[in-house]
Amino acid sequence: MEVIPSGGAHGAEIMGVDLSQPLDDNTFESILNAFHTHSVIVFRNQDITEEDHIRFSGRIGEIDNDVYSHFAHPNHGEIVIISNILDEDGKPIGVSDAGKFWHTDLAYTKTPSRASLLYSFEVPITDDGTVLGDTLFSNTAAAYDELPDDIKSRIDGKSIINRHAYAYFKSGQGEQFKKSAAALNDVEHPLVIQHPFTGRKILFCNEAMTVGINDLPTEESEQLLSFLVEWVKKPDFVYRHKWQTGDFLMWDNFPTQHFVEHNFDLPLRRRMQRITVRGTVPVSA
């Protein structure tokens, strides 16, 4: 097994691992170490079944039953389909709007995901060979480290309120999330959290879910929040993943946020399946 860093803000490719085969303990430990070091890991050219996806994910921790139950895989409730494809009745076969706003998976719950594991079947490619639908990942530990000192002191000890699909509803695109939003209450999280394995400090607000910063006047909360959610998008902090069919991507949700470039449409098809592994309650740094 070889780990090749992306050379950017974070991210690495692991070569020499076939995820369709059971992995020995040493290999699995090496993958976890690389995961904690690089936060976003890609295994290219994988040919795996749903059972392989579930087996590997379940070794990291308890698999979360995602809230998009209406877009669960028909035979495997723990797998969520992410796709822009429509069935013969014209209905979406999966979540088509995933990642339109920067976010951390399941950060609108008490226990945001520890890991997300996304396997690609179909990737939108134009006639001239341009790959569309990139996923961008921000390194939110680096984003915290690089904050100006005065901002660090203003956010120290603060907490935030997160709401499922907040930015989708705010921008009039909430229809797809009506059912899941009705079932979920707002949650409070620290604004700066500590990574449960590496101990690094992480900026934990995001534009998709964070409604406001507690204990600040509304105007100050709005101004500070809009500064912070833009800050994490700085190119210096971002790794851009260009998808290939057969990519298996796993990311650590604590020190990252991600966003999908929705620059593709049918007949260009994008089809992926995702499993999330439950995390722990975020702890203030």
Examine residue 78 and tell whether it contacts ligand SIN (CB under 6 A): no
40, 42, 54, 82: which one contacts ligand SIN (CB under 6 A)?
A: 82
Among 52, 105, 247, 252, binds ligand SIN (CB under 6 A): 105
Q: Among 32, 35, 33, 4, which Cα is nearest to 255's?
A: 35
- Nearer CB in complex with ligand SIN: 231/264: 264
- The rounded distance, in Å, linking the Cα atoms of 141 and 254 is 9
Is residue 98 a contact residue for ligand SIN (CB under 6 A)?
yes
Among 46, 113, 135, 140, binds ligand SIN (CB under 6 A): 135
Residue 274 lies near ligand SIN (rule: CB under 6 A): yes
Give me the sign of the Cα torsion angle 68, 71, 77, 79.
Answer: negative
Q: Minimum distance between the CB of residue 28 and ligand SIN, rounded to whole angstroms?
A: 23
Residue 116 within binding range of ligand SIN, rule CB under 6 A: yes
Quote the tokens at residue 22: 């059971």
Stretch that binds ligand SIN, among 21-29, 71-79, 98-106, 192-200 (CB under 6 A): 98-106
Q: Which stretch binds ligand SIN (CB under 6 A): 28-36, 97-105, 123-131, 182-190?
A: 97-105
Assess 34 for contact with ligand SIN (CB under 6 A). Answer: no
The yes or no reply on residue 279 touching ligand SIN (CB under 6 A) is no
The SS3 call for residue 260 is strand
- How far from 15 is each of 6, 42, 121, CA to CA, in Å? 13, 9, 19
Is there a contact between 203 and 104 (Cβ–Cβ < 8 Å)? no
Q: What is the DSSP letter of 96?
A: S
Nearest by Cα to 190 from 162, 151, 219, 166:
162
Q: Is 260 in the site for ligand SIN (CB under 6 A)?
A: yes
If one asks whether residue 275 binds ligand SIN (CB under 6 A), the answer comes out as no
d(CA 218, CA 213): 8
Give contact residues for ligand SIN (rule: CB under 6 A).
Answer: 82, 98-99, 105, 116, 118, 135, 258, 260, 272, 274
